[in-house]
Amino acid sequence: MRDKPYCKAPWIGLVYESNVGCKPCCEYIGGTTGVIPASFMGKYEDYKDSAWLKNFKAMMYLPTMNPGCKICIDQEEANKKFRDLGHGGDRLSRRQKFDRFDVDFHGENKIKRFDYRPGNKCNLSCRMCHPEASSLREEEEIALGRRDKIFKVEDMSDAYSIDLNECENLMILGGEPSIDLEVRKWIDHVKNYDMIIGITTNATNASDKWFDSIDQIKRLDLVLSIDGTGKTQDFQRKGSDWNLVKRNIMKYKERFQKRDHTFLNIAVTASAINFPIIDQWWEEMMALDIPIFFSQVNEPKHYSLKAIPSIFKEDMIEYLEDWKIKNPASDMSMAQKMNWNSNSNTRARQLLEAEECIVLLERNDFDKATHDEFIEEINVMDTWRNESIIDLDNRFEEILNA
Protein backbone atom coordinates (compact mmCIF):
# COMPACT_ATOMS: atom_id res chain seq x y z
CA MET A 1 0.00 0.00 0.00
CA ARG A 2 1.06 3.60 -0.61
CA ASP A 3 1.61 6.25 2.06
CA LYS A 4 -0.17 8.74 -0.18
CA PRO A 5 -2.73 8.12 -2.96
CA TYR A 6 -1.53 8.04 -6.54
CA CYS A 7 -4.25 10.51 -7.58
CA LYS A 8 -6.03 13.33 -5.76
CA ALA A 9 -9.13 13.29 -7.98
CA PRO A 10 -11.62 11.74 -5.52
CA TRP A 11 -10.91 14.51 -2.98
CA ILE A 12 -11.10 17.54 -5.29
CA GLY A 13 -12.62 16.45 -8.61
CA LEU A 14 -16.20 15.87 -9.69
CA VAL A 15 -17.94 14.67 -12.84
CA TYR A 16 -21.72 14.98 -12.73
CA GLU A 17 -23.42 13.68 -15.86
CA SER A 18 -27.09 13.05 -16.49
CA ASN A 19 -26.46 9.71 -18.21
CA VAL A 20 -23.54 8.57 -16.05
CA GLY A 21 -24.10 9.84 -12.54
CA CYS A 22 -21.04 10.91 -10.54
CA LYS A 23 -17.34 10.07 -10.41
CA PRO A 24 -14.16 11.94 -9.46
CA CYS A 25 -12.62 12.27 -12.91
CA CYS A 26 -13.67 12.32 -16.55
CA GLU A 27 -10.81 9.97 -17.43
CA TYR A 28 -11.85 7.05 -15.23
CA ILE A 29 -13.39 4.30 -17.38
CA GLY A 30 -13.86 1.35 -14.99
CA GLY A 31 -15.27 -1.71 -16.67
CA THR A 32 -12.45 -4.18 -15.96
CA THR A 33 -12.64 -7.16 -13.61
CA GLY A 34 -11.61 -6.08 -10.13
CA VAL A 35 -12.11 -2.40 -10.91
CA ILE A 36 -14.66 -0.18 -9.21
CA PRO A 37 -17.64 0.44 -11.56
CA ALA A 38 -17.27 3.33 -13.98
CA SER A 39 -19.50 5.69 -11.99
CA PHE A 40 -21.87 6.11 -9.06
CA MET A 41 -25.24 5.93 -10.78
CA GLY A 42 -27.11 8.50 -8.74
CA LYS A 43 -27.34 12.09 -7.57
CA TYR A 44 -24.46 14.12 -6.16
CA GLU A 45 -26.12 14.49 -2.77
CA ASP A 46 -26.01 10.69 -2.43
CA TYR A 47 -22.61 10.26 -4.08
CA LYS A 48 -20.60 12.47 -1.72
CA ASP A 49 -21.15 10.13 1.25
CA SER A 50 -21.42 6.89 -0.72
CA ALA A 51 -19.58 3.62 -0.25
CA TRP A 52 -18.64 3.92 -3.95
CA LEU A 53 -16.60 7.06 -3.29
CA LYS A 54 -15.04 5.61 -0.14
CA ASN A 55 -13.96 2.54 -2.10
CA PHE A 56 -12.60 4.73 -4.89
CA LYS A 57 -10.47 6.66 -2.42
CA ALA A 58 -9.16 3.38 -1.00
CA MET A 59 -8.28 2.28 -4.55
CA MET A 60 -5.94 5.27 -4.84
CA TYR A 61 -3.65 3.67 -2.26
CA LEU A 62 -3.04 0.50 -4.31
CA PRO A 63 0.61 -0.13 -5.28
CA THR A 64 -0.07 0.21 -9.02
CA MET A 65 -2.47 2.44 -10.92
CA ASN A 66 -5.73 0.66 -11.59
CA PRO A 67 -6.65 -0.37 -15.19
CA GLY A 68 -9.70 1.89 -14.87
CA CYS A 69 -7.22 4.79 -14.96
CA LYS A 70 -5.94 3.66 -18.38
CA ILE A 71 -6.38 7.07 -20.03
CA CYS A 72 -3.99 8.76 -17.60
CA ILE A 73 -1.58 5.82 -17.78
CA ASP A 74 -1.48 6.06 -21.58
CA GLN A 75 -1.21 9.85 -21.57
CA GLU A 76 1.73 9.80 -19.20
CA GLU A 77 3.56 7.22 -21.29
CA ALA A 78 3.00 9.30 -24.44
CA ASN A 79 4.03 12.51 -22.69
CA LYS A 80 7.25 10.94 -21.42
CA LYS A 81 8.13 9.85 -24.94
CA PHE A 82 7.36 13.32 -26.23
CA ARG A 83 9.53 14.97 -23.62
CA ASP A 84 12.33 12.48 -24.37
CA LEU A 85 12.40 14.08 -27.81
CA GLY A 86 13.35 17.37 -26.16
CA HIS A 87 10.01 19.14 -26.38
CA GLY A 88 8.37 21.20 -23.66
CA GLY A 89 4.69 21.87 -23.19
CA ASP A 90 1.92 21.06 -20.77
CA ARG A 91 0.40 17.85 -22.15
CA LEU A 92 0.01 16.44 -18.66
CA SER A 93 -2.47 13.75 -17.72
CA ARG A 94 -5.46 14.63 -15.59
CA ARG A 95 -3.79 12.87 -12.65
CA GLN A 96 -0.67 15.00 -13.04
CA LYS A 97 -2.73 18.18 -13.28
CA PHE A 98 -4.50 17.34 -10.03
CA ASP A 99 -1.14 16.80 -8.34
CA ARG A 100 -0.51 20.54 -7.92
CA PHE A 101 -3.37 20.96 -5.44
CA ASP A 102 -2.97 20.67 -1.68
CA VAL A 103 -5.34 18.04 -0.31
CA ASP A 104 -6.43 17.02 3.18
CA PHE A 105 -6.87 13.28 2.72
CA HIS A 106 -8.70 12.88 6.02
CA GLY A 107 -10.69 16.11 6.21
CA GLU A 108 -12.89 18.44 4.18
CA ASN A 109 -11.87 19.58 0.70
CA LYS A 110 -13.48 21.79 -1.91
CA ILE A 111 -14.06 20.95 -5.57
CA LYS A 112 -11.25 22.24 -7.78
CA ARG A 113 -12.41 20.78 -11.12
CA PHE A 114 -16.00 20.08 -12.08
CA ASP A 115 -17.24 18.46 -15.31
CA TYR A 116 -20.96 19.07 -15.79
CA ARG A 117 -23.13 17.37 -18.40
CA PRO A 118 -26.88 17.98 -17.92
CA GLY A 119 -27.92 15.66 -20.77
CA ASN A 120 -26.93 13.83 -23.94
CA LYS A 121 -29.01 15.85 -26.40
CA CYS A 122 -26.96 16.00 -29.60
CA ASN A 123 -27.42 16.71 -33.30
CA LEU A 124 -24.60 14.41 -34.44
CA SER A 125 -24.12 10.65 -34.34
CA CYS A 126 -20.34 10.31 -34.28
CA ARG A 127 -18.96 6.84 -35.00
CA MET A 128 -16.61 6.81 -32.01
CA CYS A 129 -19.15 8.32 -29.60
CA HIS A 130 -21.39 6.51 -27.14
CA PRO A 131 -25.07 6.77 -26.12
CA GLU A 132 -24.31 8.57 -22.85
CA ALA A 133 -22.91 11.50 -24.84
CA SER A 134 -25.26 11.52 -27.85
CA SER A 135 -29.02 11.12 -27.98
CA LEU A 136 -28.74 10.11 -31.64
CA ARG A 137 -26.21 7.40 -30.83
CA GLU A 138 -28.55 6.28 -28.05
CA GLU A 139 -31.44 5.95 -30.53
CA GLU A 140 -29.18 4.15 -32.99
CA GLU A 141 -27.86 1.62 -30.47
CA ILE A 142 -31.37 0.88 -29.23
CA ALA A 143 -32.63 0.40 -32.80
CA LEU A 144 -29.70 -1.95 -33.47
CA GLY A 145 -30.72 -3.98 -30.43
CA ARG A 146 -27.36 -3.48 -28.75
CA ARG A 147 -28.57 -1.32 -25.87
CA ASP A 148 -31.65 -0.78 -23.79
CA LYS A 149 -32.67 2.69 -22.75
CA ILE A 150 -29.70 4.21 -20.95
CA PHE A 151 -29.51 5.31 -17.34
CA LYS A 152 -30.52 8.88 -16.52
CA VAL A 153 -30.35 10.93 -13.32
CA GLU A 154 -33.87 12.27 -13.36
CA ASP A 155 -33.22 15.28 -11.15
CA MET A 156 -29.87 17.08 -11.18
CA SER A 157 -31.10 20.21 -9.43
CA ASP A 158 -28.75 19.52 -6.51
CA ALA A 159 -25.91 20.64 -8.83
CA TYR A 160 -27.01 24.23 -8.22
CA SER A 161 -26.25 23.80 -4.51
CA ILE A 162 -22.67 22.57 -5.00
CA ASP A 163 -20.07 24.90 -3.50
CA LEU A 164 -17.99 26.23 -6.40
CA ASN A 165 -16.20 29.03 -4.57
CA GLU A 166 -12.83 27.28 -4.81
CA CYS A 167 -13.41 25.65 -8.18
CA GLU A 168 -10.69 26.63 -10.66
CA ASN A 169 -11.93 24.82 -13.76
CA LEU A 170 -15.49 24.02 -14.77
CA MET A 171 -16.13 22.05 -17.96
CA ILE A 172 -19.57 22.19 -19.59
CA LEU A 173 -20.17 19.26 -21.90
CA GLY A 174 -22.94 17.50 -23.80
CA GLY A 175 -24.40 16.04 -25.92
CA GLU A 176 -24.02 19.27 -27.75
CA PRO A 177 -24.14 22.21 -25.31
CA SER A 178 -25.14 24.79 -27.91
CA ILE A 179 -28.54 23.15 -28.49
CA ASP A 180 -29.32 22.25 -24.86
CA LEU A 181 -31.34 24.89 -23.01
CA GLU A 182 -30.27 23.37 -19.69
CA VAL A 183 -26.74 24.45 -20.56
CA ARG A 184 -27.88 28.05 -21.08
CA LYS A 185 -29.50 27.93 -17.64
CA TRP A 186 -26.30 26.55 -16.12
CA ILE A 187 -24.18 29.27 -17.76
CA ASP A 188 -26.42 31.89 -16.16
CA HIS A 189 -25.76 30.19 -12.81
CA VAL A 190 -21.94 30.12 -13.11
CA LYS A 191 -21.15 33.14 -15.29
CA ASN A 192 -20.05 35.38 -12.40
CA TYR A 193 -17.55 32.93 -10.90
CA ASP A 194 -13.89 33.83 -11.38
CA MET A 195 -12.78 30.47 -12.75
CA ILE A 196 -11.91 29.01 -16.12
CA ILE A 197 -15.07 27.69 -17.72
CA GLY A 198 -14.62 25.30 -20.61
CA ILE A 199 -17.23 24.71 -23.27
CA THR A 200 -16.88 21.82 -25.73
CA THR A 201 -18.96 22.19 -28.89
CA ASN A 202 -19.11 20.49 -32.29
CA ALA A 203 -19.30 23.90 -34.03
CA THR A 204 -22.54 23.12 -35.84
CA ASN A 205 -24.19 26.11 -34.16
CA ALA A 206 -22.82 29.65 -34.36
CA SER A 207 -26.04 31.56 -33.66
CA ASP A 208 -26.01 35.00 -32.07
CA LYS A 209 -27.98 33.69 -29.06
CA TRP A 210 -25.41 30.95 -28.41
CA PHE A 211 -22.48 33.32 -28.85
CA ASP A 212 -24.07 35.89 -26.54
CA SER A 213 -24.61 33.18 -23.92
CA ILE A 214 -21.00 31.99 -23.79
CA ASP A 215 -19.72 35.56 -24.12
CA GLN A 216 -20.99 36.12 -20.56
CA ILE A 217 -18.24 33.84 -19.23
CA LYS A 218 -15.32 35.81 -17.78
CA ARG A 219 -12.55 33.26 -18.47
CA LEU A 220 -13.48 31.02 -21.37
CA ASP A 221 -11.77 27.87 -22.63
CA LEU A 222 -13.61 27.16 -25.88
CA VAL A 223 -13.04 23.75 -27.45
CA LEU A 224 -14.22 22.89 -30.97
CA SER A 225 -14.54 19.14 -31.51
CA ILE A 226 -13.37 18.70 -35.10
CA ASP A 227 -11.98 15.34 -36.21
CA GLY A 228 -10.59 16.27 -39.60
CA THR A 229 -11.82 18.22 -42.58
CA GLY A 230 -14.02 17.50 -45.57
CA LYS A 231 -15.22 13.92 -46.00
CA THR A 232 -13.16 12.68 -43.06
CA GLN A 233 -14.92 14.99 -40.61
CA ASP A 234 -18.35 14.22 -42.05
CA PHE A 235 -17.83 10.44 -41.98
CA GLN A 236 -16.52 10.21 -38.43
CA ARG A 237 -19.02 12.80 -37.18
CA LYS A 238 -22.24 11.62 -38.81
CA GLY A 239 -24.61 14.52 -39.47
CA SER A 240 -21.79 17.04 -39.80
CA ASP A 241 -21.58 19.28 -42.87
CA TRP A 242 -17.95 20.35 -43.25
CA ASN A 243 -18.77 23.40 -45.34
CA LEU A 244 -21.09 24.70 -42.61
CA VAL A 245 -18.72 23.71 -39.81
CA LYS A 246 -15.79 25.46 -41.50
CA ARG A 247 -17.81 28.68 -41.85
CA ASN A 248 -18.76 28.42 -38.20
CA ILE A 249 -15.12 27.88 -37.18
CA MET A 250 -14.31 31.20 -38.85
CA LYS A 251 -17.14 32.84 -36.89
CA TYR A 252 -15.78 31.41 -33.63
CA LYS A 253 -12.31 32.72 -34.53
CA GLU A 254 -13.60 36.18 -35.35
CA ARG A 255 -15.65 36.45 -32.16
CA PHE A 256 -13.50 34.68 -29.60
CA GLN A 257 -9.87 34.14 -30.65
CA LYS A 258 -8.76 37.63 -29.61
CA ARG A 259 -11.25 38.03 -26.77
CA ASP A 260 -9.61 38.75 -23.41
CA HIS A 261 -9.17 35.77 -21.07
CA THR A 262 -10.22 33.33 -23.77
CA PHE A 263 -8.48 30.32 -25.29
CA LEU A 264 -9.89 28.86 -28.50
CA ASN A 265 -8.66 25.44 -29.53
CA ILE A 266 -9.61 22.35 -31.53
CA ALA A 267 -9.92 18.86 -30.08
CA VAL A 268 -9.31 16.02 -32.52
CA THR A 269 -10.44 12.52 -31.56
CA ALA A 270 -7.70 10.27 -32.93
CA SER A 271 -9.33 7.09 -34.22
CA ALA A 272 -8.87 4.20 -36.63
CA ILE A 273 -10.99 6.22 -39.07
CA ASN A 274 -9.23 9.58 -39.31
CA PHE A 275 -5.61 8.66 -38.46
CA PRO A 276 -4.89 6.24 -41.33
CA ILE A 277 -5.74 9.12 -43.71
CA ILE A 278 -4.15 12.12 -41.96
CA ASP A 279 -2.80 13.24 -45.31
CA GLN A 280 -6.36 13.87 -46.51
CA TRP A 281 -7.14 16.54 -43.91
CA TRP A 282 -3.89 17.73 -42.32
CA GLU A 283 -3.11 20.71 -44.56
CA GLU A 284 -6.60 22.17 -44.34
CA MET A 285 -6.63 21.70 -40.57
CA MET A 286 -3.29 23.48 -40.27
CA ALA A 287 -4.62 26.35 -42.40
CA LEU A 288 -7.29 27.05 -39.77
CA ASP A 289 -4.44 28.26 -37.51
CA ILE A 290 -6.07 27.22 -34.23
CA PRO A 291 -4.17 25.29 -31.53
CA ILE A 292 -4.99 21.56 -31.62
CA PHE A 293 -4.82 18.79 -29.06
CA PHE A 294 -5.40 15.13 -29.79
CA SER A 295 -7.28 12.59 -27.68
CA GLN A 296 -6.93 8.99 -28.73
CA VAL A 297 -9.93 6.68 -28.60
CA ASN A 298 -9.78 4.14 -25.79
CA GLU A 299 -13.47 3.26 -25.72
CA PRO A 300 -15.02 1.94 -27.85
CA LYS A 301 -11.92 -0.20 -28.25
CA HIS A 302 -12.66 -1.13 -31.89
CA TYR A 303 -11.97 2.44 -33.02
CA SER A 304 -8.65 2.75 -31.20
CA LEU A 305 -5.39 3.36 -33.05
CA LYS A 306 -4.37 -0.23 -32.29
CA ALA A 307 -6.78 -1.32 -35.05
CA ILE A 308 -4.62 0.32 -37.74
CA PRO A 309 -2.17 -2.09 -39.45
CA SER A 310 1.44 -1.03 -39.00
CA ILE A 311 2.13 -0.22 -42.64
CA PHE A 312 -0.58 2.46 -42.67
CA LYS A 313 0.75 4.02 -39.47
CA GLU A 314 4.22 4.06 -41.00
CA ASP A 315 2.88 5.80 -44.12
CA MET A 316 1.30 8.54 -42.01
CA ILE A 317 4.43 8.94 -39.90
CA GLU A 318 6.44 9.36 -43.11
CA TYR A 319 3.91 11.91 -44.37
CA LEU A 320 4.13 13.96 -41.16
CA GLU A 321 7.92 13.79 -41.03
CA ASP A 322 8.03 15.01 -44.62
CA TRP A 323 5.55 17.79 -43.80
CA LYS A 324 7.78 18.91 -40.93
CA ILE A 325 10.79 19.15 -43.25
CA LYS A 326 8.83 21.17 -45.81
CA ASN A 327 7.39 23.47 -43.14
CA PRO A 328 10.19 24.33 -40.74
CA ALA A 329 9.77 26.81 -37.90
CA SER A 330 11.96 29.89 -38.02
CA ASP A 331 13.25 29.03 -34.54
CA MET A 332 13.16 25.35 -33.59
CA SER A 333 14.48 26.14 -30.12
CA MET A 334 11.21 27.98 -29.62
CA ALA A 335 9.32 24.96 -30.97
CA GLN A 336 11.01 22.80 -28.37
CA LYS A 337 10.49 25.11 -25.41
CA MET A 338 7.24 26.94 -26.04
CA ASN A 339 4.05 26.30 -24.14
CA TRP A 340 1.46 24.28 -26.06
CA ASN A 341 -1.13 27.04 -25.67
CA SER A 342 1.05 29.76 -27.15
CA ASN A 343 0.01 31.49 -30.35
CA SER A 344 3.29 33.40 -30.67
CA ASN A 345 4.73 31.13 -33.35
CA THR A 346 2.17 29.27 -35.45
CA ARG A 347 4.62 27.05 -37.30
CA ALA A 348 6.47 26.04 -34.14
CA ARG A 349 3.19 25.06 -32.53
CA GLN A 350 2.13 23.08 -35.59
CA LEU A 351 5.39 21.18 -35.63
CA LEU A 352 4.65 20.09 -32.08
CA GLU A 353 1.16 19.04 -33.15
CA ALA A 354 2.64 16.94 -35.95
CA GLU A 355 5.11 15.41 -33.51
CA GLU A 356 2.29 14.52 -31.13
CA CYS A 357 0.46 12.68 -33.92
CA ILE A 358 3.64 10.76 -34.69
CA VAL A 359 4.00 9.74 -31.04
CA LEU A 360 0.38 8.55 -30.94
CA LEU A 361 0.90 6.45 -34.05
CA GLU A 362 4.19 4.99 -32.82
CA ARG A 363 3.05 4.03 -29.34
CA ASN A 364 -0.15 2.23 -30.37
CA ASP A 365 1.11 -1.08 -31.70
CA PHE A 366 -1.14 -3.00 -34.04
CA ASP A 367 -3.41 -5.50 -32.31
CA LYS A 368 -5.07 -8.15 -34.47
CA ALA A 369 -8.02 -8.69 -32.11
CA THR A 370 -8.78 -4.96 -32.11
CA HIS A 371 -8.47 -4.90 -35.90
CA ASP A 372 -10.97 -7.75 -36.19
CA GLU A 373 -13.39 -5.87 -33.94
CA PHE A 374 -12.90 -2.75 -36.10
CA ILE A 375 -13.80 -4.69 -39.25
CA GLU A 376 -16.89 -6.13 -37.60
CA GLU A 377 -18.06 -2.72 -36.34
CA ILE A 378 -17.39 -0.98 -39.67
CA ASN A 379 -19.43 -3.61 -41.50
CA VAL A 380 -22.34 -3.26 -39.05
CA MET A 381 -22.39 0.54 -39.17
CA ASP A 382 -21.82 0.81 -42.93
CA THR A 383 -24.76 -1.52 -43.55
CA TRP A 384 -26.96 0.23 -40.99
CA ARG A 385 -26.17 3.71 -42.30
CA ASN A 386 -26.08 2.70 -45.97
CA GLU A 387 -22.59 4.10 -46.47
CA SER A 388 -19.11 2.70 -47.04
CA ILE A 389 -15.84 3.62 -45.41
CA ILE A 390 -14.14 2.61 -48.66
CA ASP A 391 -15.87 5.58 -50.33
CA LEU A 392 -14.14 7.78 -47.77
CA ASP A 393 -10.74 6.53 -48.93
CA ASN A 394 -9.86 3.43 -50.94
CA ARG A 395 -7.04 2.60 -48.51
CA PHE A 396 -9.72 1.24 -46.22
CA GLU A 397 -10.28 -1.63 -48.65
CA GLU A 398 -6.75 -2.79 -47.86
CA ILE A 399 -7.14 -2.02 -44.15
CA LEU A 400 -10.29 -4.12 -43.91
CA ASN A 401 -8.61 -7.00 -45.73
CA ALA A 402 -5.27 -6.81 -43.94
CA atoms within 13 A on the CB side of 127: 30
pLDDT at 335 over 50: no
Rounded to an integer, the average pLDDT of 152-177 is: 95
Q: pTM of this prediction? A: 0.89
* pLDDT band (50, 70, 90) for residue 346: confident
Q: Under CATH, domain 115-163+170-359+366-401 is a member of which superfamily?
A: pyruvate-formate lyase- activating enzyme (3.80.30.10)
* Choice among 70-79, 143-152, 173-182 with the minimum mean pLDDT: 70-79
Task: Assign 360 to helix, strand or coil.
Answer: helix
Quote the pLDDT of residue 108. Answer: 87
What phi, psi does 113 have (nearest 5°)? -135, 135
Task: Please count the other Cβ atoms lying within 10 Å of the Cβ belonging to residue 348.
Answer: 21
CA pair distance 348, 338, nearest whole angstrom: 8
Packing angle of the helix pair 346-363, 310-326 (nearest 10 deg): 160
Quote the pLDDT of residue 81. Answer: 64
pLDDT tens, residue by residue, 211-223: 999 999 999 999 9
pLDDT at 89 over 70: no
Whether 103 contacts 109, CB under 8 Å: yes
pLDDT tens, residue by residue, 238-294: 999 999 999 999 999 999 998 999 999 999 999 999 999 999 999 999 999 999 999
Nearest to 319 by CA among 395, 223, 226: 395
Q: Where, residue-wise, is CATH 3.80.30.10 in the chain? A: 115-163+170-359+366-401
Is residue 52 within a helix (H) or strand (E), and if so which, with residue range?
A: helix 51-59
Packing angle of the helix pair 346-363, 70-84 (nearest 10 deg): 120
CA pair distance 84, 182, nearest whole angstrom: 44
pLDDT tens, residue by residue, 47-56: 999 999 999 9
